[in-house]
Each structure stands twice: as C-alpha cells, then as structure tokens.
Amino acid sequence: MRKVLGIIASAAFTTALLAACTGGARQDESPRSDPPETYAAETHAMQRARLAALEVAAFSAPPLPQEPLSADVYAPFDDNGVRLAATDPVSTFSIDVDTGSYANVRRWLNQGRLPPEDAVRVEEMINYFDYAYARPRDRGRPFSVSTTLSRAPWNADAHLLRLAIQGYDIDARERPPANLVFLVDVSGSMDAPDKLPLLKRGLALLVDRMTANDRLSLVVYAGASGIVLEPTPGDRKAEMRAAIEALQPGGMTNGASGIRLAYELARQAFIEDGINRVILATDGDFNVGTVNFEELIDLVERGRESGVALTTLGFGSGNYNDRLMEQLADKGNGNHAYIDTLNEARKVLVEEMSSTLLTIAADVKAQIEFNPAVVAEYRLIGYENRLLAREDFNNDKVDAGDIGAGHSVTVLYEIALTDSAARRVDALRYQPAATPPACRMNSPG
C-alpha cells in the first residue's frame, strides 16, 4: 500500500509538472493580442511561479506513514504443494508441539502490524489450542490417535482430513522431580519491559509451583557467563526469588558460553529418572562468542546426548531471532514457546508445566499412505520444516519431535478424491488400479 500511494503521489506531481511546463491555458482564457515578446516573457514567468509553488507543496507535504523496521529473523520456507497420490502416495514428517508462532503472531497483531510471512507456521497456530481430544485409557500406550473427515471450509469440493494425537496426562503430584537450569540472557538487548522484566515475573510464578524434590539453578550470560544460583531445592523459595530479582541487563550477548555452562550445571545436578532440562530465555540476539548458526546447533545436539533436553522461551521484538530459537529447541529434544504477556508465561510455565517439561514419547514420526484409487491429491497443511524422507521413518538415527504429558497434536490434510472437481493436477492415465482403504497411518514399532 505504501508503494502504491507513493506511485500515485509521484504520478500526480509529474502530471502537474508537465502541465506547468507546457503553460497550458485555461479553457475560459481568450486568445492573446499582445506582442509575441511580451506574451513569451509573461508565459515564462508563470511557468517559474507554478514550478515554485509545486516545489513548496512537494517539500512541505507531510510524509507518508512508514512501517517501523524490524530486525527479527525468521527461517524462510515455502508452503507445501499438492501431491499426487498416484505417484507420491506416502507423506512422512516429524511431530511438532511448538506453539511459539501463535504467540509471536499475536504480538505483531496487537501492535497493529501484519507479521512477516515466515513468522506464520500454521501447525503451531493450530496446536496452540486444546481441542479436548479423547485421552489414552492407560499409560500402556503413550498417546491415542483419531481421524475425522469433513468438507474443507474453503472449498466445498475438497475434503479435510484431521489426525488428532493426544498424549496421556499426569497429576501434578505424580510429576517426577525436576532439575531445571534456567539460562537467562541479561545482555543489553534484554533491557525492555517485554523482555527481562517479563521473564522475571514468569520465573516467580514457576517458583511457586516447585516442590522440595525439585532443583532450580540460574545461569546468566552477557559478555561473559556465570552462575547466579547453584542447584537449589524447590522449597527454598526466598533464595530463588532473591536471585531472580537481582537479575539486571547489560553488555553484549555471548550465548554459546552460557549454553555450555548451563549443560555442565545440569549434568552436575542430574536426577536419575527425573526431568533434566535447560531452559533458555532470550531474544536470541547472540552477537559475541560463537554466533555461527550451525555451530550453535551442533553444541545443542551434543548436549542432548547427555540426557538433558533444551526448551527455548523467546522474548521481545525488534531483534528477535525466531529461526535460532526454534531450531535450538528442535535439536535439543525440547519445545519452543514465545512469551509476550504474563498470561502466556503462566500458561507455559505453570498451567502446562508437565507438558512443557515431561516427555512421554520421544522422536515421534508420522507416516500416512494414501490410496490412489480413492484419493487423487493431498496437501499437508503446515509442518514445512518437519518433512522427512520416506526412509527416515524407520531410521532411529533421524531426530524427530517429542510429545510431553498432556500434549495434543493436530495434523490437517486437504484432499481431493478421484471424482472431485477440486483436483488441480491432471491424473496419469496408465496408473494401475488400487484398492481401499483411502489412507493408512503408520506408527513406529
């Protein structure tokens, strides 16, 4: 819209300038009888006057409103395309329980701005909500799976296939003891009301829910990293609150050194058969130390081998590195959330504490096979950065997403049946016939 307005304004100015330069006469003017030299002098004076007036108007006009520039970083991706069941009947991807995209998009909208296209990850928008799916009857199966087929709301000729996965939940009193190491960014970039101050309020809510069997540690990093709170039992809440309240922003951001120290502390306080997790809270603006994206990912991948998972909590705007935060959580066998309000902090750290921290199923992959005799085309909605090769489904060395206690996952496919007017691609004429069922969902093991 800003470009369109600029073009219109520029065209109007050019038109007026041309009219002034041609000295066009008004329709009500009668032919002049003055000597030619007198007429030419007056016409030249009028042209100069008109040009001067246009210049004044152009430079005194208020500027068009400008969209505030943002240095936020998002991983680019393209929406999933339509697949032909006759030639590509199998869809394989990793489960995703992250919800950071929804809260981040909400922040943009609350600011009266549209989010960048790559900030919108559809699966995270959908999975943000609880749909009250049926839970497993017992813990013999970590999650239940159900399917629903309905008309697509945007195309009456297409169908919408929903796969619903619901993990079993536990009572808060049954939660295993937790060894939590909060890695807190206290660099200068966190000096904003929606960053470090909001994080401190969220941490205070978590402290209230910790038990004597839990352990909380605080590691901070800016230009250098250090331990603010050694592993402390959850019933020593005064010490925890004092350490949290003392956090102050300042300096550059050496995230890599902080990650190393946090993993080291988590290993020292490791709880067998418990929850062992590093929780990184930052805007992701790493600007000193190890700043290479791939090196940071490798650092986290090595850390997860020790049995310590990584969760990332994103804060703030203007320099928020969503790409880094999401990928660190993925490679660290954890989940990613974005905290834009105190209510969101309460949701992630208190209300969903078990699902955020306790993993009930690791490396969960889904594989759906469509029958080309019934389904002509399908399109997976979302999960663009979770797609896997078909052979990866049975390869345990290929990492995939984890499901926490009480987590639910929704997967949507837009499908066009063989007799549907919604088909977008001409079918092959020589494909051998197949038999129902329309689709089959495989599960590991």
pLDDT tens, residue by residue, 136-160: 877 788 889 999 999 999 999 999 9
> In the predicted model, is pLDDT for residue 350 greater than 80?
yes
> For residues 32 and 43, what is the distance between their CA atoms, to the nearest angstrom?
11
Taking residues 400-416, report their average pLDDT: 93
Taking residues 178-196, report their average pLDDT: 91
Residue type, 71: A
The pLDDT tens digits for 3-23 are 333 333 333 333 333 333 334
pLDDT of residue 295: 80
Look at 212 and 431; give whichever has higher pLDDT: 212
Burial call 352-388: b when 16+ CB within 10 Å, e when fewer:
bbbbbbbbbbebbbbbbbbbbbbbbbbbbbbbbbbeb
pLDDT bin (cut points 50, 70, 90) of residue 31 is very low
pLDDT of residue 141: 84
The pLDDT tens digits for 352-372 are 887 788 888 888 999 999 999
> In the predicted model, is pLDDT for residue 97 greater than 70?
yes
Q: E-assigned strands of 168-296?
A: 178-185, 215-221, 225-233, 275-282
Burial call 411-427: b when 16+ CB within 10 Å, e when fewer:
bbbbbbbbeeebbeeee
Task: Give, in degrees to the nearest 5, the angle at Cα 246 between 178 and 230.
Answer: 35
Residue 124: strand, helix, or coil: helix
Residue 291: strand, helix, or coil: coil
Taking residues 232-239, report their average pLDDT: 95
Q: Of 27-36, 365-374, 396-405, which range is least confident?
A: 27-36
Overall CATH class of domain 184-343: alpha beta
Give the best-scoring range by mean pLDDT among 29-33, 81-85, 141-145. 81-85
How many Cβ atoms are within 10 Å of 124's Cβ, its own excluded?
A: 24
| Cβ-Cβ contacts under 8 Å for 103 (sequence gap 6 or more) | 128, 337, 338, 339, 340, 344
Q: To the nearest whole number, what is the mean pLDDT of the chain?
A: 82
pTM of the model: 0.77
Q: Are strands 408-417 and 215-221 parallel, antiparallel or unpaired?
A: unpaired
